[in-house]
């Protein structure tokens, strides 16, 4: 489809204007006090809309609104809160195509990946609804007669969610829908590279809230990380900051929040590897590696950035992989058959070319790709060739996360050696092994195996489901969000001891006779 037509169609369908306010605090703030930000499409580099972002004043407004709403929200039971999330999930089902389009236009995701982003929101909404009836603590046996001891999870209050451009709406929903059923209210600071998606999501979500007379538990404050992000991180009224972004920014957020003893969930960089054993199903592993390394143009935290291949199959595997890379279609992500769209902006293209040059200097040999790509009719877009670089050993560039489709290839003799290479980077988000050998798979999953938060067998490092806890170790920050018991991060745990007897026996046999 013609992009100009798509642009005006989306603005109309989602009721967006230009300029559009980027601040929502119980209503759209007409004249926010911050800078104007241009939302541009990386597909052709053209403007989509101008956004009016906020500064300190708007942030204060949002916190005040959140404080008021919290009181109302806490009057509802968790299943009543879950009911709102169910209604939101239903509306997202209806709006999936429209929202998928804006994600695709603003971030350059392919059509199916844009819709997949919204599906991830729907999935977490379903999960949160079920969870709203399962917020459980443990009961412990008390050593004292006629005593009961148990733990309960109470809401934290106001939480802040700072999201990245690459999953501009789903990561917000992982945090916000779960936090909402726990009883929290949320202030969202979206990435300045994907504000229009955030605005579109807020329009839909707040319409459901208004129509059904629920408290306005979600607010949006767009603005720079340096200003709004810092204000939120330093603010003791915001009990938890969930931050997705670079290791560098995550360190600042972490230190700022720690100074005031606030809580954080950090989902920082990944540098994910797959080990490909000679005992693997070759065609399955080729598909897994190709998806892991090239999907979303290599801009997922979970992207496969390194593969470590058994020397016994190295030649065959690498030659087949080259074949796939040469054939894969790069271009307009809205076109059928295109699997790799653009990078987010010019800065990302520069990071790509710098990384390729550094890899060459560090002894790497480019097997395929390595250059900027030009797409007919899309001269202003930010395209690069999916790239495979053979590395003689682990070098500084292979220890860094470059948000681009660059795959470093290493060779191994023994699985011990492969795991050593695998764990040799500072980041620890996702990992995988391709093998049909039970012993290899178990060694990879043992305490001396993968050191990552996510470990996969015979599937890619990317593409996690919402049901598991998502996050990683080491420089990835240690946070967990989304499924499993990650909801506990949005609550404060209270240990309760109740004496229902007539005496007051003391623990540890202590006597205090008066
Ligand atoms: C991210 O890149 O920050 O596992 C999130 C995946 C997606 C989420 C990625 N479901 O690839």
**Residue 2: its pLDDT value, please?**
80
Interhelix angle 3-13/78-107, rounded to 10 degrees, is 160
| Pairing outcome for strands 23-24 and 218-221 | antiparallel
| 248 sits in which H/E element | helix 247-259
Alpha carbon of 471 to ligand 1 centroid (Å): 10
| Pairing outcome for strands 238-244 and 158-162 | parallel
| Assigned superfamily of 3-32+52-268+477-493 | Aldehyde Dehydrogenase; Chain A, domain 1 (3.40.605.10)
pLDDT in tens, 378-391: 999 999 999 999 99
Cβ within 8 Å of residue 58, ≥6 positions away: 23, 25, 29, 32, 33, 34, 221, 223
Query: Which of 246, 452, 462, 466 most suits a substitution to test ligand 1, by most atoms within 8 Å of the C-beta?
Result: 462
Rounded CA-CA distance 73/214 in Å is 8
Rounded CA-CA distance 39/58 in Å is 20
> How many residues make up the chain in this entry?
514
Cβ < 6 A, ligand 1 pocket: 120, 166-167, 171, 244, 300-302, 462-464
Enter the DSSP assignment of 40.
E
Enter the DSSP assignment of 456.
E
Q: What is the number of the ligand 1 atom nearest to the C-alpha of 465?
A: 10
Rounded CA-CA distance 131/101 in Å is 30
Architecture of domain 272-465: 3-Layer(aba) Sandwich (3.40)
**Residues linked to residue 154 through DSSP beta bridges, in sequence order:** 492
**Residue 507: its pLDDT value, please?**
97
Task: Write the CA distances from 341 to 3, 113, 297, 379, 385, integer angstroms.
Answer: 14, 11, 6, 13, 10
Per-residue pLDDT of the chain (514 residues; tens, 9 = 90+): 688 999 999 999 999 999 999 999 999 999 999 999 999 999 999 999 999 999 999 999 999 999 999 999 999 999 999 999 999 999 999 999 999 999 999 999 999 999 999 999 999 999 999 999 999 999 999 999 999 999 999 999 999 999 999 999 999 999 999 999 999 999 999 999 999 999 999 999 999 999 999 999 999 999 999 999 999 999 999 999 999 999 999 999 999 999 999 999 999 999 999 999 999 999 999 999 999 999 999 999 999 999 999 999 999 999 999 999 999 999 999 999 999 999 999 999 999 999 999 999 999 999 999 999 999 999 999 999 999 999 999 999 999 999 999 999 999 999 999 999 999 999 999 999 999 999 999 999 999 999 999 999 999 999 999 999 999 999 999 999 999 999 999 999 999 999 999 999 999 999 999 9
Atom 3 of ligand 1: nearest residue by CA position: 301
Alpha carbon of 503 to ligand 1 centroid (Å): 55
| Pairing outcome for strands 185-189 and 218-221 | parallel
Q: Is the peptide bond before 314 cis (omega within 30 degrees of 0)?
A: no
Alpha carbon of 113 to ligand 1 centroid (Å): 11
Active-site annotation, residues: 267, 301
**Residue 385: its pLDDT value, please?**
98
**From-to residues of CATH 3.40.309.10 in the chain:** 272-465
**Residue 1: its pLDDT value, please?**
64
Interhelix angle 170-182/111-131, rounded to 10 degrees, is 10
**From-to residues of CATH 3.40.605.10 in the chain:** 3-32+52-268+477-493
């Amino acid at each position: 489809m013609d992009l100009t037509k798509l642009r005006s169609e989306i603005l109309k369908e989602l009721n967006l204007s230009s300029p559009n306010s980027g601040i929502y605090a119980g209503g759209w703030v007409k004249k926010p006090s911050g800078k104007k930000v241009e939302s541009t499409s990386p597909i052709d580099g053209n403007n989509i809309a101008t956004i009016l972002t906020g500064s300190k004043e708007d942030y204060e407004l949002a916190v005040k609104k959140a404080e008021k709403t919290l009181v109302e929200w806490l009057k509802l039971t968790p299943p009543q809160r879950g009911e709102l999330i169910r209604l939101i999930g239903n509306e997202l089902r209806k709006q999936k195509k429209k929202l998928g389009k804006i994600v695709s236009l603003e971030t350059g995701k392919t059509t199916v990946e844009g819709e997949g982003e919204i599906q991830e929101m729907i999935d977490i909404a379903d999960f949160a609804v079920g969870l709203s009836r399962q917020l459980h603590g443990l009961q412990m046996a008390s050593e004292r007669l006629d005593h009961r001891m148990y733990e309960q999870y109470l809401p934290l209050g106001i939480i802040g969610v700072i999201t990245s451009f690459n999953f501009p709406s789903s990561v917000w929903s992982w945090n916000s829908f779960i936090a909402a059923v726990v009883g929290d209210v949320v202030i969202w600071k979206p990435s300045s590279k994907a504000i229009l998606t955030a605005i579109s999501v807020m329009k839909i979500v707040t319409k459901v809230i208004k129509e059904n007379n629920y408290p306005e538990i979600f607010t949006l404050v767009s603005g720079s990380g340096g200003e709004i992000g810092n204000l939120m991180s330093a603010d003791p009224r915001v009990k938890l900051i969930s931050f997705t972004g670079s290791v560098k920014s995550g360190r600042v957020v972490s230190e700022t929040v720690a100074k005031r003893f606030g809580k954080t969930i950090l989902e920082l960089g990944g540098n994910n590897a797959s080990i490909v054993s000679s005992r693997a199903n070759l065609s399955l592993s080729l598909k897994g590696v190709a998806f892991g390394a090239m999907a979303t143009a290599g801009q997922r935290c979970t992207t496969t950035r390194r593969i470590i291949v058994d020397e016994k199959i190295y030649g065959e595997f690498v030659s087949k992989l080259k074949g796939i890379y040469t054939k894969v279609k790069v271009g307009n992500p809205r076109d059928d058959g295109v699997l790799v769209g653009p990078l987010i902006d010019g800065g990302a293209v520069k990071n790509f070319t710098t990384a390729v040059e550094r890899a060459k200097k560090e002894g790497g040999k480019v097997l395929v790709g390595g250059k900027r790509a030009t797409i007919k009719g899309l001269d202003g877009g930010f395209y690069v060739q999916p790239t495979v670089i053979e590395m003689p050993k682990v070098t500084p560039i292979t220890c860094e996360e470059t948000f681009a489709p660059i795959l470093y290839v290493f060779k191994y003799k023994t699985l011990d050696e492969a795991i050593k290479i695998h764990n040799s980077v500072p980041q620890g988000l996702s990992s995988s092994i391709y093998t049909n050998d039970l012993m290899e798979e178990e060694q990879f999953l043992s305490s001396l195996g993968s050191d990552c938060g996510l470990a996969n067998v015979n599937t890619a490092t990317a593409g996690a489901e919402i049901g598991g806890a998502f996050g990683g170790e080491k420089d990835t920050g240690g946070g967990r969000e989304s499924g499993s018991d990650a909801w506990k991060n949005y609550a404060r745990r209270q240990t309760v001891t109740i004496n229902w007897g007539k005496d007051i026996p003391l623990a540890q046999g202590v006597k205090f006779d008066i």
